[in-house]
Amino acid sequence: MRKTKLRTSGTNLSRTKAHNLRVVIEVIRTQAPISKTEIATITSLSRQTIQYIVAELEAAELVELIDGEIKGRGHPGKKIVLAPTGAFNIGIHVDKLSIRAVVCDLVGDVVWQQSQRLKNWNIDDANRLIKSVFDKFVAEHPSKAKKLVGVGVAAPGPFNETNIRPDDLANFQQVGTSKNIKKLSAEIGLPFIVENDATAGAIGEHLHGEGKPFDTFVFLQFGIGLGAGLILNGNKFAGSSEIAGEVGHIVVEPDGLNCSCGKSGCLERYLSIDALCRDLNLQIDDETLNEKITELIAQRNQALLDWIDEATPRFRQLVNTLEMIVDPEIIIVGGTVPKPFLDLLISRSKPFLKPLNRQRGGEQVRVGTAGDFVVAAGAAAASAESHFAPALTSLIL
Ligand SMILES: [Zn+2]
């Protein structure tokens, strides 16, 4: 059911102005270098309006005017590009084991990164670490810090109070509740937005990694739990209550292991770092867990190989389900688990079940390349989008 209505008559001038500003930034972001005349043509706004908006963006140091190419005998016109150092966004990926933070410039490039271990699984320690990472950036880069416009926080969701499961091991929902976000925003003095880790990972891969060439793909976040981030036709898809992609809670084993969601036999009870640690007697909060998993792979440890072989039918089934529902161009797997583990899971799961689209050749599943900071970079991009991208909500009166 639609909760908001877009008015089709009347206008709120200040919001229309803000919307036009975002539209112009988006056109410059995607088409630069571009002239004012070209922007006017694309946006159907008057040349005078474009003149005014570009002057405003230039004064705010968000765009730069550069010399265009000389065509024919005429003078080179000025072209407009985004000024990368005009604004910065912080992205922070919080899970129960660590905090990874990045600062991205206006074109999305990572200019600073930092990771810290979270000693205790509680919200106060997580908040303290978020604040200390922020303070470190401000101390190291005071001039860039003045141009920070917002913070994106990504954590294992869901955060919506009605969907919260208090005893869920994988979930760190306290980070993203509206109460905590308001508190962090007041302490740091910047607007915060929150995104679930799988969706932020999908955005990060779309901007910086394997998702770049694709408009429609699924990103699987293999962490303590298992979640999927969906990019559909170039946009993230969150669902009606922002829990789309909770594939870890698809029941795969009727009357199977109990899950914190209240059901039994959920997929992430069998396919996640939590499941791996439980079955191999590894400690999930061990600081050297990733090194230990990598070592077991290097040794071709039989228990680990057996675990993977038991998991492959479930993984293959998940890939098949996602392909039938979403019709993605690719499924990208990432997460906090070491890359050699994901490589092994994928190679031992082959051949995957065939997609219906028989013209689709090549790989169906690959490991992401945007790295350990992919989720944080996606969170920074989500923050940038909330400030600069044109949104329907900015026109709702
Ligand atoms: Zn469940």
Please write the tens of the pLDDT for every residue from 65-109: 998 776 655 556 789 999 999 999 999 999 878 899 999 999 889
Residues whose CB falls within 8 Å of the CB of residue 257, separated by 6 or more in sequence, listed in order = 264, 265, 266, 269, 270
Ligand 1 centre distance from Cα of residue 205 (Å): 26
**pTM score, whole prediction:** 0.85
Residue 306 CA to residue 311 CA, distance in Å, equals: 9
Ligand 1 centre distance from Cα of residue 208 (Å): 31
Distances from the Cα of 103 to the Cα of 89, 113, 146, 329, 367, angstroms: 6, 6, 13, 30, 24
Determine the distance from the C-alpha atom of residue 60 to the mean position of all C-alpha atoms in its chain, rounded to a whole number: 27
Ligand 1 centre distance from Cα of residue 72 (Å): 65
Ligand 1 centre distance from Cα of residue 257 (Å): 9
Q: At what angle do helices 289-298 and 302-326 cross, to 10 degrees?
A: 100
Segment 135-163 shows an average pLDDT of 88
For 46, the token pair is 């008057």
Residue 87 CA to residue 50 CA, distance in Å, equals: 21
The residue behind tokens 């293999």 is: 222
Ligand 1 centre distance from Cα of residue 170 (Å): 10
Residues whose CB falls within 8 Å of the CB of residue 59, separated by 6 or more in sequence, listed in order = none
Query: What values do phi and psi take at 382, rounded to 5?
Result: -65, -35
Ligand 1 centre distance from Cα of residue 122 (Å): 22
Ligand 1 centre distance from Cα of residue 261 (Å): 4
Domains of the chain (ranges, CATH numbers): 13-82 (1.10.10.10), 87-199+376-388 (3.30.420.40), 208-370 (3.30.420.40)
Segment 336-363 shows an average pLDDT of 88
Q: At what angle do helices 289-298 and 273-280 cross, to 10 degrees?
A: 70
For 287, the token pair is 């600081």
Residue 49 CA to residue 53 CA, distance in Å, equals: 6
Question: How much of the chain exceeds pLDDT 70, in percent?
Answer: 90
**Residue list, CB under 5 A from ion ligand 1:** 249, 259, 261, 263, 266
Ligand 1 centre distance from Cα of residue 313 (Å): 19
How sure is the predictor about 349, in pLDDT bands with cuts at 50, 70 and 90? very high
Ligand 1 centre distance from Cα of residue 94 (Å): 21
Ligand 1 centre distance from Cα of residue 268 (Å): 7
